[in-house]
Structure 1
Amino acid sequence: MAHSSSDSVSLLAAVGTIALTTSWLAVRRSEQVTVTRLRGVLRTLESATFPFSPNVLEQMRGLTDAHFIVLDRRGNVMASTVALERPFPRWADSVPVSEDLDGLLEYPLVSVGGDPYFAARLQAERPGEAAWLIVLYPVRNWREDRWNAAWPPLAIGATTLLVMAAVSGLLASRLGRRIRSVQQLFARIAEGQFAHVPVAAPRDELADLLVSANRLSDRLKQMQQTIRQTEQLRVLAQIAGGLAHQLRNDITGARMALELHRKRCGTAKGDESLRIALRQLVLTEDHVRSFLAFARRDQTASPVTADVRALLEDIRSLLQPTCEHTGVKLDLSVNLPEEAAMVGAGEALRIAVMNLVLNAIEAAGSGGHVWIRADRDADTVRLEVVDTGPGPPSEIQADLFEPFVTSKPEGVGLGLAIARRVAEELGGALYWQRQDGRTVFTLCWPIGDGKLDLAEKLPPERVPNPIPTSTPP
């Protein structure tokens, strides 16, 4: 801002200097024209042969704006266009001959009738004893000529200065407002408020700075969210580390007690209660393990290879009691060839699908329906979990796969985050959509090594074609 003001002052000073110089040169030219004209008159009169009568002198006065006095050899006035004092002043003898002078200011100043004149003298040999001709040029005319020559450049310069000052003030004001907006933006960023400032025309360096500042604001906002999320996960990992040991001990103790009871007392024929209780303990242990695997980022899912077909059947049988208790119908449809059925992270996939199906059962509610469907789609395995529930609330849809995002008062908000992480570890993606009044979560991963070029949440036009299976009732 200070640099811009200095430039404006320098420019105004330059314009003022140019105006003064132009005015001075115009005055000089005007004076040269006057001197040249006066010299021409003197040369013409000096070489003229006509007598200097009063009529001739009056005509010359009208043409030149000068006064003329004719003297004889004794210095007496023979004719004059100006009223002279009596007796005639003796300054006429001191007036130099015109050819000896170069500039108008070099002509002597004389006073005639109270008015100042530049005086020039030339020799005039004429009939009737005329010996000298004195030419008087009014100082008033000289000053008027100088002023008439000086004021146009000065007026133009003054007008230019005023216009430039007004324009400079306007530009400085606009520039100041834009600079203040940049300062305010960075002040808000420093206070942790990552809002945007609109970028208006013109597109100059300040506009580029605002664009960069807005980008910086976005990056800082993302970093703040990442730091906050990382801090949440760090605290969660600390809490989970303390709880995990106690939970595992409790689960192990309960499972050992049930197994010991089954060995000692046996079970009635057809009684599946102990087996179901043991499997529910296994399910609880899986939840604890998946929670810890997500909270501790340095731990990855087990790399044990598994058959997806057997894995899904195991999940169905494990969750069937839960479905019967909640009144939800659970169907499984798997159509995978041998080469597509094997997955390298079977335990992680089982945790992810378990979370998806449990969410679907809870969303479907009593009288609802849940489908687990798996099929091959070209070089991709696609697994869908479909439910008849209303779908996620609109206020959390944009962040549905982020940790701790949930609409359930008692929920933690980690199930979908764990499932997405597993999908990424498999080189695939997890996304969801509403289709025919149902909620469809789709988990895709490539067959063999590789990685799918899929976003974690795809728009409907990019969603793969539905798996060819019979329409659920």
Structure 2
Amino acid sequence: MENPGPSGCNRRSIERSQTSIKRCLAKKTLSDPAPLRSLRFRLLGPLIAVALIAAIIVALASYRLGDRWAMDDLQERFVGIKNTLADSTFPLNATVLDSLAELTQTDLVTTGKTGRVKYSTLDGLDAAPQEGEMTIDEKRYLVYFFDTQRGKIRADDVARVAVVFDERTLSASRRRAAILPLATGLSTILALSSITLFMQSRLVGRISKLQRRVRGIAAGEFACTDTDHAPDELGRLGADVDEMAGQLDQLWKRVNRQQSEKLLHQIAGGMAHQLRNSLTGARMAVELHAAQCDSPDKESLPVAIHQIELAEDYVRRLLLVASGRQDEDRPTDVTVCWNDVRSSLSPIARHLHLDVEWHLDESFDSTPQSDASHRIGDGPTWVAAVTNLVHNAMQAGDVVEVRLERPTDKSVCVRVRDNGPGIDKNVADELFEPFVTSKPEGMGLGLSVVRRAAEHLNGDVAWHRDDGWTVFDFTASLMDNDNS
């Protein structure tokens, strides 16, 4: 049965993890809160309640104050009428009382010495009123009395005068005193509530958006599509959430890579033993054939043997990685490594009918140098990385240029150019990460190995597009003479 490979297993593992997370979130997702439990009500309710209570208290206080003002005004009016009529010498007949009642907005009742009513402007009054409150035809009145100073000698025989105030006038004064602050308070509450509701709706909307963002992060959706970056507390919280999502995205990818690498190590340990035995048998067969072959053209046989030896070396390194160990560095001259790469890939290029141009900088000689300034810290690692880059270029385009340069005295740079279509945009940002590839049959390990080789050799690897060409620059440090 065909092995699905580490990347297939890893993808299925990731999909299962994301599916389980989404199911868990679906169970824990709460429905929209009840109106009384919503944030709008919790913020707006207390504000309206406090404002309404304050308006009612102010209205009651105004009502009480208005009642006091009305009573004070009534007393002032009564004192004014008393001071005017108590010492008066003009007769208090019906005509005079009607005029005074209309002028003072009151009703007047005069009584004689015997207490009988002599004149009255109040209809329905049968007997002399008593001081205080009285009701006539379901209408309430307040009655105040004062004695005339000339009661015994007055021609009209008026001894006492009753000033009658309508209770409805007092009630109207009280209502006027209470309605104005109450109306002002209610209108203020309405205006403040409308503005507060609008602001809270925007605030709750931003919080809901942030909640959806956090829920998406919990479901594994780390990419940001709609972010609130307003210059306030929620904006700063949204920025922190985005930063957290970015860190989680990196950690998630790192975990996936570690899982894939762990699986690769497990598979590599089993495959390497079988490959080593097969390669050993193939090399022995080729060597036996080379010894028995009488053909004058034997160039392909040494190349085949060399390729098998390289494969055996790769398998040996793979076994070391699977066992958790690392091979010792083998310093090698740059030109030796260069010739090794060229001799191994040139026959492949001829077989594929590709035009591969090899350019060696003039600062390098065609023969190895004895000093360490021309040596790479680990020759096999450099050869494997450059071979990978050139092989990828041969697969991408039909014209390939490989150039070995020396940008500084302490480093070498291999520039590989091809006229292929270039790198897929979907993988361009993570090109050197493990298991990232645009090839259907690829595993995405080649360029990650190249980057690790560059780091191991204290160098760097980068790529760019240059006028229709894809360019890879692989830089490695040279050894110092002190390290020879």
Distance 2:225 2:424 in 1: 31
- SS of alignment partner, residue 54 of structure 2: helix
Residue of structure 1 equivalent to 2:451: 420
Q: Distance in 2 between matches of 1:289 and 1:414?
A: 18
Mapping of residues 309-388 of structure 1, within 5 Å: 309-327=335-353, 328-336=355-363, 340-365=373-398, 368-377=399-408, 380-388=411-419
What is the SS of the residue equivalent to 1:116?
A: strand
| Counterpart Cα distance in 2 of 1:272 and 1:197 | 59
Q: Which residue of 1 aligns with 2:58?
A: 22
Counterpart in 2 of 1:279? 306
CA RMSD after TM alignment: 3.3
* Counterpart pick for 2:422 among 391, 414, 419: 391
1:210-255 alpha-carbon deviations (Å, 9 max, x no partner)? 4433333333333333222222222222111111112122223333
Higher mean alpha-carbon deviation, 415-424 vs 227-236, is at 227-236
Q: Per-residue displacement from partner, 1:268-323 (whole Å, max 9, x unpaired)? A: 77743442232121232345456667x75955564222222221122222323223
Q: Which residue of 1 aligns with 2:367?
A: none
Answer whether contact 1:5 1:172 (CA < 8 A) is retained. Answer: no
Question: Which of 116, 140, 155 is residue 76 of structure 1 equivalent to?
Answer: 116
Q: 1:67 and 2:132 equivalent? A: no
SS at match of 1:398: coil
**Partner Cα distance (1:344, 1:428) in 2:** 11
1:333 is matched by which residue type in structure 2? L
| Pairs aligned (count) | 429
CA distance in 1, matches of 2:223, 2:261: 26
Match of 2:133 among 109, 122, 130: 109
| C-alpha contact (below 8 Å) 2:424/2:438 kept by paired residues | yes
Q: Does 1:46 align with 2:86?
A: no
Kept in 1: contact 2:376–2:476 (CA 8 A): no
Which of structures 1 and 2 has the larger relative contact order (alpha carbons within 8 angstroms, sep 6+)?
2
Equivalence for 1:469: none
TM normalised by structure 1 equals 0.78
Give secondary structure in 2 for the equivalent of 1:120. Answer: strand
- The whole-number CA distance in structure 2 between the counterparts of 1:297 and 1:60 is 122
How far apart, CA to CA, are the structure 2 residues paired with 1:194 and 1:297? 35
The residue number in structure 2 matching 1:99 is: none
TM-score by length of 2: 0.76
Tell me how far 1:417 sits from its aligned partner. Answer: 1.6
Aligned twin of 1:217: 245
Match of 2:468 among 434, 437, 444: 437
Deviations 1:166-194 (A, max 9, x none): 45555555454444444433443333344
Cα distance in 1 for residues equivalent to 2:219 and 2:423: 34
Contact 2:464–2:472 under 8 Å retained in 1 = yes
2:142 maps to 118
Q: 1:204 to 1:386 in 2, by over 3 A?
A: closer
Counterpart of 2:434 in structure 1 is 403
Q: Which residue of 2 aligns with 1:12?
A: 48
Task: Tell me how far 1:141 sits from its aligned partner.
Answer: 0.9
Matched residue, 2:29: none
Instruction: Confirm or deny: 8 A CA contact 1:189 1:217 kept in the other structure.
Output: yes
Equivalent position of 1:36 in the other structure: 72
The worse-fitting range, judged by mean Cα deviation, of 434-443 and 194-203 is 194-203
Moved more, 179-188 or 426-435: 179-188
User: How far apart, in 1, do the equivalents of 2:266 and 2:392 lie?
Assistant: 26
- Flag the 1:441–1:6 CA change in 2: closer, same or farther, 3 A: closer
Q: 1:413 to 1:37 in 2, by over 3 A?
A: closer
For 1:80, the aligned partner's letter is S
Q: What CA distance in whole angstroms lies between the structure 1 residues aligned with 2:53 and 2:433?
A: 69
Residues 448 and 132 of structure 1, relative CA distance in 2, 3 Å threshold: farther
Tell me if structure 1 keeps the 8 A contact 2:393–2:418.
yes
Q: Is the alpha carbon distance of 1:85 and 1:247 closer, same or farther for their aligned partners in structure 2, counting shifts above 3 Å?
A: closer
SS where residue 108 of structure 2 aligns?
strand
Q: Deviations over 1:66-88 (max 9, x none)?
A: 212222322233443323534xx
Please say if residues 427 and 446 of structure 1, whose CA atoms lie closer than 8 Å, have aligned partners that are also in contact: yes
Aligned to 2:218: 190
1:137 maps to which residue? 165
Counterpart of 2:49, as a letter, is A
Moved more, 159-168 or 137-146: 159-168
